[in-house]
């Protein structure tokens, strides 16, 4: 069973509806919720997920690990380019992988007051406002991390918030999507934004 091979499937879940596929150029808006849930080691290579080498580490500058299970690029400013979508809330796109620790579920939530401005997607799925990640990777080694291609859509470059929700807590983080976030010089922490957050 090789660690170079991985098959990860992305499914979008809505009430009574399941949608799969790539983001369409005329996509009118994000879906309410998406789920990344299947991870089969030993399958053929797949663009929806890749086993990462040496994560976390110097090969992934700007990434920070939250709750021991999700890596996000919160320590650097991401590039943002015109997205080409008709949806004005998704005028710009920042490409940045989502790095996931298998078998440790979590949810990424766009805060309520940003849902007309920000959306997210990884793993070849449509844009969403809430992403549930629950990978069951079976015999994956303890140090396994899985990376998904995707990123962030935003109405204009900004320092944007995102909530990382686990079983017993919710934490607000900030992402510099085409614009820098201000950090406290004494600690390097965003000003007040990584304190526990109430799920909106």
Whether residue 36 has pLDDT greater than 60: yes
The candidate with the shortest Cα–Cα distance to 10, out of 28, 27, 31, 25, is 31
Whether residue 2 has pLDDT greater than 50: no
Give the model's pLDDT for residue 42.
Answer: 53
Per this entry, what is the length of the chain?
200
Tell me the whole-structure pTM to 2 decimals.
0.77
For 138, the 3-state DSSP assignment is coil
Give the model's pLDDT for residue 168.
Answer: 84
Band of residue 41 on the pLDDT scale cut at 50, 70, 90: low
Of residues 2 and 142, the one with the higher pLDDT is: 142
In whole angstroms, give the CA distance from residue 81 to residue 92.
5
Q: Which residue has the tokens 């369409």?
A: 24
Band of residue 26 on the pLDDT scale cut at 50, 70, 90: low
In whole angstroms, give the CA distance from residue 12 to residue 112.
20
Whether residue 66 has pLDDT greater than 50: yes
Give the model's pLDDT for residue 48.
Answer: 60
Beta-carbon contacts of 96 under 8 Å, excluding residues fewer than 6 positions away, are 72, 73, 78, 150, 151, 152
| pLDDT average, residue stretch 3-9 | 39
Query: How many other CB atoms sit within 10 Å of the CB of residue 141?
Result: 10
Beta bridge partners of 11: 35
Give the model's pLDDT for residue 136.
Answer: 78
Give the model confidence (pLDDT) of 74-126 as tens digits: 999 999 999 998 899 999 999 999 999 988 999 999 999 999 999 999 987 78
């Amino acid at each position: 069973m090789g660690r170079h091979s991985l098959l990860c499937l992305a499914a979008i879940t809505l009430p009574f509806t399941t949608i799969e596929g790539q983001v369409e150029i005329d996509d009118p808006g994000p879906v309410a919720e998406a789920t990344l849930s299947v991870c089969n080691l030993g399958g053929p290579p797949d663009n929806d997920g890749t086993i990462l080498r040496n994560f976390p580490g110097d090969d992934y500058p700007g990434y920070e690990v939250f709750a021991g299970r999700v890596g996000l690029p919160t320590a650097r400013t991401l590039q943002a380019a015109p997205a080409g979508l008709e949806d004005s809330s998704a005028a710009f796109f920042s490409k940045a992988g989502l790095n996931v620790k298998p078998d440790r579920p979590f949810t990424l939530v766009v805060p309520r007051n940003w849902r007309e401005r920000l959306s997210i997607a990884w793993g070849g799925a449509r844009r969403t406002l809430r992403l549930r990640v629950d990978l069951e990777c079976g015999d994956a080694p303890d140090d396994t991390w899985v990376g998904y291609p995707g990123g962030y859509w935003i109405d204009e470059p900004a320092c944007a918030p995102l909530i990382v929700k686990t079983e017993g807590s919710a934490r607000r983080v900030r992402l510099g999507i085409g614009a820098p976030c201000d950090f406290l010089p004494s600690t390097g922490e965003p000003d007040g934004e990584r304190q526990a957050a109430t799920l909106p």
